[in-house]
A and B are shown apart, each in its own frame.
Chain A
């Protein structure tokens, strides 16, 4: 359904939006099938309601949120972000969401918390077996998780998030490759140690913890210098940090991004 009036956000891109059709039919959501057309056809495999998202680990106030409770943590905002997939294509997506920082604040992280792990829903009875080590998980450093660009998305094009895009709630980190945006989240866990993510386990030489969009660091099997914006014919140059360098580069100052890829 319609999510009602949305606050605007200065981080939103002014670029032309990718069509809703493309955003909802071209998905990497392996739990619902490994072909990009699969997730839109297998939406019945995931019931986004009722839903609870638990926040736990190194926090003073661990708790579970229903989706309604999540929607009330902060005013819903429209965030038009570029999304760059590690495979070399990109979109401009009008997400609806809340800053992840607002949720973290509710849980009151402890001083020892350094990382945040995100765990996706997995149902062995209905979802893909094999391919990756399920459930899907991702991770961010705590400062990345608290960054104002990082959101929990609950909607798309002003409406409830479609299943194939990670309903009912997913992570969106626009300066990182798309796979960092874990879908259909059930657990957010604060930890002291860097989490080992699903893609790091699957291909340690190909997928690192940071996975910042970086045209200068190639994937071992393909170049990351350019990308095809879905709906366009030619390719465009990929921007450092997906064009969000001004906001995020300082978090990585002094780090060798070739090593911490």
Chain B
């Protein structure tokens, strides 16, 4: 089943609303004083967790596409990635604005001295070129191969995000552990595909050489 382009558009709109809803619900809870005794901490925590969730959701698109055959879901990936960046920015803003109130010396000290903030900040900085190059113009300009290489930065970014969460918690590591396991599974899957592909190329290359007598057959990952 392949949706028509009209269906894709309406699905995109629905997905957009869905992705935006955590932010809207958070702002509503903030307005209604429902975020508990320390709303700034709650806001920082929630925006950070949504950043991680969207990173992982973005990483799920390719495996889902591969195993379900729904090639059209690739068309939602950019939006998901951009939402990860948007929540990451919100997370940084809650820290810079609400938590530290633009106390730049303190912020610089934090980034430099506290490993978990260093790691989180690095992850967000690495996300920025990805967000900036998430348009057709950038893909054309960079060329598919380079663009793809650049966007593989999402792999280390997700791991840095997990590490950031891990180092932040005082003792109960259950939640960061869950995110880390999912991230490792999603990345491990890719490593496994790559290995499969390599073996196939090796085996195929040998056979093809015999059969086609040196004719080059390009194997392109689809």
Q: Could you list which residues of chain A lie within 8 angstroms of chain B, going by C-beta atoms? A: 19, 21-22, 25-26, 30, 34, 36-37, 87, 89, 131-132, 202-203, 218, 221-223, 225-226, 228, 230-231, 233-235
Contact = CB atoms under 8 A, between A and B. Distances in A.
Contact of B37 (A26, A222, A223, A225): A26
B36 interface: yes
Given A34-B171, A221-B114, A223-B106, A234 B101 contact: yes
B115 interface: yes
B83 interface: no
B109 A25 contact: no
B96 to A, nearest CB: 13
Contacts of B106: 223, 225-226
A235 B101 contact: yes
A231 B109 contact: no
A233 B109 CA distance: 21
B66 interface: no
Interface in B140-177: 167-168, 170-172, 174
A89 B101 contact: no
B171 A22 contact: no
Given A34-B172, A131-B172, A235-B101, A221 B38 contact: no
Contacts of A87: 170
Interface residues of B, number: 21
Contact of B38 (A218, A225, A230): A230
Contacts of A131: 171-172
B40 A221 contact: no
B116 A221 contact: yes
A235 B95 CA distance: 12
B37 A230 contact: yes
Interface of B: 36-38, 40-41, 98, 100-101, 106, 109-110, 113-116, 167-168, 170-172, 174
B192 to A, nearest CB: 32
A222 B101 contact: no
Contacts of A222: 110, 114
A231 B33 CA distance: 11
26 contacts: A19-B37, A21-B37, A22-B37, A25-B36, A26-B38, A30-B171, A34-B171, A36-B36, A36-B37, A37-B36, A87-B170, A131-B172, A132-B171, A203-B171, A221-B115, A221-B168, A223-B106, A225-B106, A228-B38, A230-B37, A230-B38, A231-B37, A233-B98, A234-B101, A235-B100, A235-B101
Contacts of A34: 171-172, 174
Nearest to B110: A223
B146 to A, nearest CB: 38
A243 to B, nearest CB: 21
Contacts of B98: 233
Nearest to A91: B37
Contacts of A231: 37
Contacts of A225: 106
Contacts of A226: 106
Contact of A25 (B37, B40, B100, B114): B37
Contacts of B110: 222-223
Contacts of A235: 100-101
A231 B167 CA distance: 27
B101 to A, nearest CB: 6
The 9 closest A-B pairs by CB, nearest first: A26-B37, A22-B37, A34-B172, A230-B37, A131-B172, A131-B171, A221-B114, A222-B114, A202-B171
A175 B40 CA distance: 25
A106 B100 CA distance: 48
A60 to B, nearest CB: 38
A201 to B, nearest CB: 11
Nearest to B168: A221
Residue picked from B36, B106, B116, B170, most chain A C-beta under 10 Å: B170
